[in-house]
Amino acid sequence: MSLFEKHNATLSKAIEALHNRTFFAAYPEHPSPTVYGETADADGQAKFKAALGNKFSELKQTGADGWAGQEESPYLQEPLNISYPVFSVQTLISNSKNTFHTWRSVKADDRAGMLIESLERIKARFFEIAYATMHTTGQGYMMAFQASGPHAADRALEAIAAGYEELQRFPASTLWDKPMGKFNIQLNKEWRAVPKGISVVIGCSTFPTWNSVTGIYGSLITGNPVIVKPHPGAILPIAIVVAEIQKVLTENNLDANICQLAVDTYDKMITKELAEHPDVKLIDFTGNAVFGSYLEALPGKTVFTEKTGVNSVILDSVQDIDKVAANLAFSVNLYSGQMCTAPQNFYIPESGIKTPNGVVSFDEFAQKFVDNINSLVDNPKAGPFVLGAVQSKKTSERVAEAGNLPGKVWLKSRSFENPMFKNARVATPVVIEVDASKKDIYSKELFGPIALLIKTKDTDQSVQLAQEMAMQHGAISCGAYTTDADTKEKIADAMALAATPVSFNLTGGIYMNQNAAFSDFHVTGGNPSGNASFTNPEYVVKRFTWVGHREPALG
């Protein structure tokens, strides 16, 4: 049985889910022993610990110049001391060029089979990847398992499915028969999907697999060799992924250099040199707006970006103000606000929020919001694991500086004790009241656990400001609460024009931060927060070109 035959049922279900947008998950998101094995967690943790202080020697790519690594655990605030093979840009490019014609010649069926097989291998390492993610990003255990494991694998499968389907959209060949009256003109026509060339995927420090696998697998399924350039602070999770891809490639008598890992260090970064190299044709990037815009402006490249944005919450009217406050407090606490979808600007009318029991004033809601944040933070069984740790020292400094912003400070950021990691770098949310006229304060992303309560004249102004922020500065998510159908439609239309998806009236266990593979488009590509979307057709069709040939039919 070929790998395509082995995984064809999974691929077919994934393609069907892409069209129907209903719930589909190939990889269970709960770390259940009945699914993954009784010892999977302990085994994964042991493998992670065994990697500390050692060389990561699983990669099968060739031509390393030495070893390096500078990862630090946000929980321990100590180096991981893992070193990785380091390659010159020229070696990486040369290796990729040498594999281009081989990989593009592999049939789409076989590419899909091998790529899904690699996901099955990665599945066996979800727990190891979870601990690697915890100790590079600061994510809590459950988020680290889900986001870097099953959710990332589902996003990768989504990219495979989208790419595979687009490669099947047109026939490989046909007989073209045009009636001309007394005779017909007949041509044999064929079409080839030609890959663009070398693909570079630039990773981020907070979601090293989830944000990278779509670009990796989107390029690989469409026939392009890939160079994965992780953030120097978060290498191990994606290194495991690349290693498993390389193992499947070599087992199928293909060159491991089809997918390479390009590790660098803070003092000698190679990102620009890679991106500007004339042989690099595709670039995927997640990170800050300045560098993303620089990449988008590079000539001769097809670039897919996810950049910074200003996410809003519009509060108009609610059924249950306490459930709303609890939901939003959790959203702000989750991974200490370090998700690209986390809410930042909360627009609240000065007249308050309408409820079935009367109007809740601005101050009353602010207090409920703060109380819910504190309640979660102070819950020893939940708080430390929901907030996790702060990945970057710069984020900690930003949170501290936010306390000095002009406006009433409803809640100061503070530290807390993580029962498992006494030295964890932590910061609880800071909540500040800001007048709507102070656009200079809230018209930029303040990455981290920073919440701004913006007092507006009315809901119309709230909607106008949320739309303006998204159009001018980008937004990846938006939350809105209203019990009025006309207001809901007004918000939906205004934010749709700003290319920003809205989560309406969420309470309970679903949050505006979350995105589901096969259903939610992550980033739309329609505002300054990014020019691409996980995973619409454009995300994969721009990675190859259709070329047609024709000749007269004989006989």
Enter the CATH code of domain 312-504: 3.40.309.10
Q: Specify the domain boundaries for CATH 3.40.605.10 within the chain.
A: 3-307
- Whole-number pLDDT of residue 555: 63
3-state DSSP percent of the chain in helix, strand and coil, to 5? 40, 20, 40
Q: Are strands 72-73 and 78-79 parallel, antiparallel or unpaired?
A: antiparallel
Residue 315, beta-bridge partner list: 481
pLDDT digits (tens, 9 = 90+) for 89-128: 999 999 999 999 999 999 999 999 999 999 999 999 999 9
DSSP letter at 380 equals T
With a CB cutoff of 8 Å and minimum separation 6, the contacts of 489 are: none
Strand order in the sheet with 173-179: 173-179, 184-195, 544-552
Distance CA 480, CA 125 (A): 38
With a CB cutoff of 8 Å and minimum separation 6, the contacts of 460 are: none
Residue 284, beta-bridge partner list: 201, 304
With a CB cutoff of 8 Å and minimum separation 6, the contacts of 158 are: 14, 18, 214, 517, 518, 534, 535
Residue range 3-307 in CATH 2.102.10.10: no
CA 311 to chain centre: 16
The residue type found at 335 is Y
Place of tokens 């303040």: 446
CA 1 to chain centre: 34
**Three-state secondary-structure class, residue 251:** helix
CA 349 to chain centre: 33
Distance CA 344, CA 213 (A): 27
pTM: 0.96
Place of tokens 């927060």: 529
Distance CA 547, CA 227 (A): 25
How many CB atoms sit inside 10 A of residue 183's CB? 8
H or E element that contains 228:
strand 226-229
The answer to whether 281 touches 198, Cβ cutoff 8 Å, is yes
Q: Which of 354, 360, 270 is nearest to 316 (CA)?
A: 354
**Three-state secondary-structure class, residue 23:** coil
The answer to whether 153 touches 10, Cβ cutoff 8 Å, is no
CA distances from 62 to 146, 215, 265, 446 (A): 32, 22, 19, 41
The answer to whether 165 touches 15, Cβ cutoff 8 Å, is yes
Q: Which of 131, 116, 163, 231 is nearest to 15 (CA)?
A: 163
Q: Specify the domain boundaries for CATH 3.40.309.10 within the chain.
A: 312-504
How many CB atoms sit inside 10 A of residue 229's CB? 26
| The token pair that represents 263 in the structure block | 């590790």
Give the chain's length.
555
Q: Which portions of the chain are predicted below pLDDT 70?
A: 555
Place of tokens 């946000």: 74
**Three-state secondary-structure class, residue 189:** strand
pLDDT digits (tens, 9 = 90+) for 40-67: 999 999 999 999 999 999 999 999 999 9
- Whole-number pLDDT of residue 554: 84
The residue type found at 299 is P
Helices (H), 204-318: 213-221, 236-251, 271-276, 289-296
Distance CA 404, CA 197 (A): 49
Distance CA 337, CA 346 (A): 14
